[in-house]
Structure 1
Amino acid sequence: MIETSQDGRVLTIEISRPEQLNALNAQVLREIQDTVEGTRHDTSVGCIVIRGSGERAFSAGADLDEIRGLPVEDAQAFIHAGQRTMSAIADSVVPVIAEVDGYALGGGFELMLACHLVVASSRSRFGLPEARIGCIPGFGGTQRLAMSVGKPAALLLMLGGERIDADRAWQIGLLSVPPLAPADAATEARRLAELIAAGSRRGTANILDAARPAFAAAALDHEAALAAISIASRDGQEGIISFAERRAPVFEREES
């Protein structure tokens, strides 16, 4: 589900599900987590690059086929697996760069948020569409997005569920460098990775530790519980099914 390669001190993780727009299922999440955590004691790695296979998506989000029909307990287990992967990236002692080309949506957007640097092509598109299908971001997005771009912009992205282009992503602070042509974005991600990897591994680890935002574990637990309830709810399942069927969802309307 993922492919890894190491060139010098740069380790590349490629999500290899192009036909599914590199959707994140339990196996992909586990493999990414294991690979990132495996670099903690591997001093041959000085930087990690995460990218998606193909030209259409970094990752279009959680694999909806995997969460369709899940009860609350199973949905929460899936959400916690995603949170563990994102926390492994965010807490990595080795800097992680997201190389985004194409869609970074939902869980894929949250994967990007967990990375320390983001380089994106000009054709990339970003968004958290969960609200449009009766769900919420559950892989740490409700916490990390506001820390990245501030509360007003974060809530607009989460509540509206609209996609933004790469120029807008740069304007609100989601990207580390301005958007580039696809080939140039890949070159820049590699250049930055080699630049970082050439430095002191202990020094970069200390910088990451000092700069790492702190938020209570309870906040992630609360997010996971609400995400699981949303997935298992009637509206959540209707949203997931309607998305697969390419139709507008019909949500329940509570009487006031």
Structure 2
Amino acid sequence: MSYNNIKFEKDGVIGILTIDRPKALNALNTETVTELNDCVGKIENDPEVKVVIITGGGSKSFVAGADIVEMSTKNAVEGRFFGKIAQDTFTRIENLPQPVIAAVNGYALGGGCELACACDFRYASENAKFGQPEVGLGITPGFGGTQRLPRVVGRGYGKELIYTASMIDAEEAHRIGLVNKVVPQEQLMDEAKKTAKKIASNAKIAVQLAKAAINRGINCDVITGIAYEDEVFGLCFATEDQKEGMAAFVEKRKANFTDK
């Protein structure tokens, strides 16, 4: 896959998607978001990719936000269209069958924080900075931030970050639950890959069904969510990996999953 503003490569069963506009601090313009959407569409249909890591090119920024230069000239119709493209892309990332880890190096502001929140969980380098600065620019978060950020960190912290347009460091992001782990910058990708490999070593179908159940349950009442869990739990017993996993446990050996 060849793009102007992003890169995608495979490291075994791990797909690494890099927003690669370092001179613009990886800011999201229309072309970048369109490329991202195209790439994600290919990833979701790639059986070789078991886990995805999303990161930013260069050492300063994950994604510093949407491209303000491009946005500054838009009218209401154009602004809404731009927001819809990004919302659809981030929702597609959220709903990828594969687990997605955000490896956040440097700035994750505005659209960058929203992109990170669309991933399943986040690892941050010590120099990471998070925030939703939109109200300081006369707009609201428009790429899912008003919905996903409060779901990740809770209403109180989410509202405070959005209303104040404050920027927080990696340690504070870890304290409020926005990121799972903070590591030195030079260790960030190794740590994300280590976790990705651990995920990939498990039964692929079971991992993907677990993700689907979690995502479905978060957006409905608990009784409906549990009913969906019951369905995917039952489906697992139709897989070869369930038979192999349980046989390996009984026989005290390592399971050899075949993703079937």
Q: TM-score, normalised by structure 2?
A: 0.80
Of 49, 53, 58, which residue of structure 1 is paired with 2:57?
53
Matched, 1:158 2:162: yes
Give matches, 1:119-198, under 5 Å. Answer: 119-177=123-181, 179-198=182-201
Change (3 A) 1:114 1:18: same
Match of residue 208 from structure 1: 211
- Asked if 1:4 is matched to 2:8, the reply is yes
The alpha-carbon distance between structure 1 residues 33 and 199, as it changes in their structure 2 partners (threshold 3 A), is farther
Q: Distance in 2 between matches of 1:147 and 1:140?
A: 11
> In 1, Cα distance between the equivalents of 2:152 and 2:45?
29
Work out the CA distance in 2 between the residues paired with 1:139 and 1:187. Answer: 29
1:30 paired to 2:34: yes
Across the two proteins, how many residue pairs are aligned to each other?
215
Give the alignment partner of residue 67 of structure 1, picking from 66, 71, 86.
71
- The counterpart of 2:98, out of the listed 94, 99, 102, is 94
Q: Which amino acid aligns with 1:118?
A: R
> Offset at 1:200?
2.1
What CA distance in whole angstroms lies between the structure 1 residues aligned with 2:203 and 2:35? Answer: 27
Contact 1:46 1:198 in 2 (8 A): no
Please give the alpha-carbon distance, in whole angstroms, between the structure 1 residues aligned to 2:33 and 2:207.
Answer: 25
1:20 aligned partner:
24
Which structure 1 residue ranges, 5 or more long, are not aligned?
217-256
Give yes or no for contact 1:45–1:197 (8 Å, CA) kept in 2.
no
Q: Please give the alpha-carbon distance, in whole angstroms, between the structure 2 residues aligned to 1:77 and 1:48.
A: 27
Amino acid at match of 1:119: Y
Find the aligned partners of 1:186 and 1:85 in 2 and give their Cα distance: 23
Q: Write the distance in 2 (CA, Å) between the matches of 1:166 and 1:200.
A: 32
Q: CA RMSD in A?
A: 1.2
Residue 234 of structure 2 is matched in structure 1 by none
Decide which of 84, 88, 94 is 1:84's aligned counterpart.
88
1:53-79 Cα offsets, whole Å, 9 max, x none, are: 101000000011221121111111100
Structure 2 CA distance for aligned equivalents of residues 42 and 170 of structure 1 = 32
Cα distance in 1 for partners of 2:41, 2:214 equals 19
**Displacement after TM superposition at 1:38 (Å):** 1.5
Alignment partner, residue 116 of structure 1: 120
Larger radius of gyration: 2
Q: State the distance in 1 between where 2:165 and 2:114 align.
A: 14
AA partner of residue 131 (structure 2)? G
* CA–CA separation in structure 2 for the residues paired with 1:110 and 1:71: 22
Which secondary structure state, in structure 2, belongs to the residue aligned with residue 97 of structure 1?
Answer: strand
| Paired amino acid for 2:186 | A
Segments of 5+ residues of structure 2 without an aligned counterpart are 221-260
- The CA distance in 1 between the partners of 2:206 and 2:66, in whole Å, is 34
What is the rounded CA distance, in whole Å, between the counterparts of 1:53 and 1:198 in structure 2? 27
Give the letter aligned to residue 141 of structure 2.
P
**Structure 1 CA distance for aligned equivalents of residues 79 and 183 of structure 2:** 37
Deviation at 1:214, TM superposition (A): 4.8
Code of the residue aligned with 1:188 in structure 2: it is E
Deviations 1:104-162 (A, max 9, x none): 00001000000002110011010000111111101111000111111110010000001
User: Equivalents in 1 of 2:205, 2:44: separation in Å?
Assistant: 11
